[in-house]
Amino acid sequence: SSLVVVEHKDGQIAPSTLNALSAAAKLGGTVHALVAGSTSDAVADQVAKLAPISKVLVASDAAYDHGVAENNASLIAAAQKAGNYSHIVAAHSAFGKNVLPRAAALLDVAQVSDVTGVESADTFTRPFYAGNAIATVKSNDAVKLLTVRPTAFPPASTQDAAAAKEAAPDAEKTGTTQWIKEEVVKSDRPDLGNARVVVSGGRALKSGDNFKILYNLADKLGGTVGASRAAVDAGYVDNSLQIGQTGKVVAPELYIAVGISGAIQHVAGMKESKVIVAINKDGEAPIFQLADYGLVGDLFKIVPELTEKIKA
């Protein structure tokens, strides 16, 4: 049986948890969910309605808020000891990456990160070397801890009957870390990880103001905006928009790379997109080798024209 660690914020389940649930469903056996935090009761009611969960463990305590790793990891370890799960699964998000390896160490087991395929209960595929190689790995540990790549699994659907809720076991609250504040980029656009269309800009945009033409195109397409590392480092957009090996991994229906050369590290974050379009003035840019459609020319002319013509 598996335990899925639910990520949530402001009373909402993180979409990536829905993908993690589908990965857990492929492992076989029953699936339980763990919801922790001061709003966990309300979130647990939403979680209980998701397939294939048969039980929701609820830890209602502010000690688990903001995903503080120390308390959350010790709760996961305690839940494992009480429930004797064969697998513990979380999304490979900032939260999952922070918490799960610490829980793995407490349980003295290895973790398989960024799983993109479940071959059997102990064998998984995962990319490494920035996605330039895919490893098939077999975990020999009794308990298998996995963080899964959200874009590699469909979101879980809802189920007819809500799963039962139960209090999670007590865990030692060792956390001495204090959460002080957060600065989250507010946006009405879809979340980068779930957007159907992503329009991404690189250094060639030349300024943060110029990103406006990408937002116009993205809005027209009902999508959102991402960026290359170069654009983030140059301060054009926020870090949280970075797509690539060390940023977000996206796999939208349509990815439009504007003024992005296509470095290995960027490609790692977008090459699973269904259709890739590249707009670049350098016809030799590596991005053209993987783009389904490439347009060589001045992005400041092409992007507004494209926005206009999609409107028509």
CB of 21 to another protein, least distance (A): 18
Q: Binding site annotation covers 289?
A: no
Is residue 225 a contact residue for another protein (CB under 8 A)? no
Pairing label, strands 117-118, 8-9: unpaired
Which residues, 40 to 59, sit near another protein by CB under 8 A?
Answer: none
Sequence-distant (6+) residues with CB within 8 A of 167 are 57, 58, 59
| Site for another protein, residues 165 to 194, rule: CB under 8 A | 174-185, 191, 193
Residue 275, CA distances (Å) to 40, 80, 291 in order? 38, 41, 8
HSE-up of residue 21 (Cα within 13 Å, Cβ side): 26
111 annotated as a binding-site residue:
no
Among candidate residues 255, 274, 199, 253, the one with its CA nearest the CA of residue 231 = 199
For residue 276, state whether it binds another protein (rule: CB under 8 A): yes
Site for another protein contains 221 (CB under 8 A)? yes
Compute the residue count for the chain.
Answer: 312
Closer to another protein at the Cβ: 209 or 309? 309
**Closest separation between CB of residue 164 and another protein, Å?**
30
Q: Is 8 among the annotated ligand-binding positions?
A: no
Q: Identify residues 195-214 at the interface with another protein (CB under 8 A).
A: 197
Any known ligand binding at 264?
A: yes
Interface with another protein in residues 233-272 (CB under 8 A): 233, 238-240, 245-246, 248, 253-254, 264-265, 271
Of 21-29, 41-49, 95-103, 155-163, which segment contacts another protein by CB under 8 A? Answer: 95-103
Q: Parallel, antiparallel, or unpaired: how do β-strands 117-118 and 197-201 relate?
A: unpaired
Residues 236 and 199: their CA atoms lie apart, in Å, by 15
Cβ atoms of 103 and 73 within 8 Å: the answer is yes
157 vs 293 by CB, closer to another protein: 293
Work out how close the CB of 98 gets to another protein at its nearest, in angstroms, rounded to a whole number. Answer: 5
Amino acid at site 263: A
Q: Report the first-to-last Cα separation within the chain, whole angstroms.
A: 52
> Mask: binding to another protein, 131-170, rule CB under 8 A, as x and -?
xxxxxxxxxxx-----------------------------
Of the candidates 2, 199, 189, 171, the residue with the CA atom closest to the CA atom of residue 86: 2
Q: Do 256 and 272 meet the contact criterion of CB atoms below 8 Å apart?
A: no
- Annotated binding-site residue? 242: yes
Q: Please give the structure tokens belonging to residue 7.
A: 């990520």
Contacts with another protein by CB under 8 A: the residue count is 91
Tell whether the torsion through CA atoms of 15, 19, 21 and 22 is positive or negative: positive
Per-residue mark of binding to another protein, 103-122 (x: CB under 8 A): xxxx-xxxxxxx--------
Taking the complex as a whole, how short is the minimal distance between the CB of residue 74 and another protein, in angstroms? 9
Interacting positions 56-85 with another protein (CB under 8 A)? 66, 68-70, 73
Rounded to the nearest whole angstrom, what is the least distance from the CB of residue 115 to another protein in the complex?
12
Q: Distance of CA 243 to CAs 49, 121, 200, 205, Å?
A: 32, 30, 8, 16
Cβ of residue 60: shortest distance to another protein, in angstroms? 22
User: In this chain, which of 2, 227, 288, 299 binds another protein, going by CB under 8 A?
Assistant: 288
Annotated binding site for FAD: 203, 228-229, 242-246, 259-266, 280
